[in-house]
């Protein structure tokens, strides 16, 4: 086995690196941006998301995203949603998913992480921490 083949084999064995994409934008309506590493990027369908991304919707904005564990999130107008932590092993369905809704509305259909271990998914708001115990929920935070 040459060095290239060995490197590819190691990457496959180790799985995706921590900085790899954690999800994908599926729907964008109106004004929506993604803050990443100090830059504000216009959201577009098909765009990959990374852990630590912050999604912002304008007064006419809405975004729908699919996470790698099959969770589905939809943020409505005037929302700020931070994807604080996302780790996922596709083989075991184990991982950790933490998000923070700073303002606005968020609808969630939980994916494989919450189905495997409900305590490993949470959504924080300025006044509460929501532990996922079901498969669907909606939360709203006023400004």
Q: Which of 119, 61, 121 is nearest to 87 (CA)?
A: 121
Q: Per-domain residue ranges for the chain? A: 18-141
The pLDDT value given to residue 15: 43
pLDDT digits (tens, 9 = 90+) for 14-57: 444 444 599 999 999 999 999 999 999 999 999 999 999 999 99
Contact 97, 65 (CB under 8 A): no
Strands 121-124 and 95-109: parallel
pLDDT digits (tens, 9 = 90+) for 42-51: 999 999 999 9
SS3 state of residue 84: strand
Contact 36, 53 (CB under 8 A): yes
Contact 129, 101 (CB under 8 A): no
């Amino acid at each position: 086995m040459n060095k290239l083949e060995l490197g590819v084999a190691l990457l496959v064995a180790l799985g995706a690196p921590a900085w790899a994409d954690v999800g994908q934008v599926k729907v964008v309506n109106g004004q929506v941006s993604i803050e990443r590493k100090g830059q504000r990027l216009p959201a577009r369908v098909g765009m990959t998301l990374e852990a630590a991304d912050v999604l912002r919707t304008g007064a006419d904005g809405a975004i729908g995203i699919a996470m790698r564990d099959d969770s589905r999130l939809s943020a409505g107008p005037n929302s700020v949603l931070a994807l604080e932590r996302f780790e996922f092993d596709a083989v075991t369905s184990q991982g950790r998913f933490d998000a923070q809704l700073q303002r606005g509305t968020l609808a969630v259909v939980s994916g494989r992480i919450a189905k495997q271990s409900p305590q490993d998914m949470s959504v924080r708001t300025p006044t509460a921490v929501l532990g996922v115990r079901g498969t669907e929920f909606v939360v709203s935070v006023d400004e």
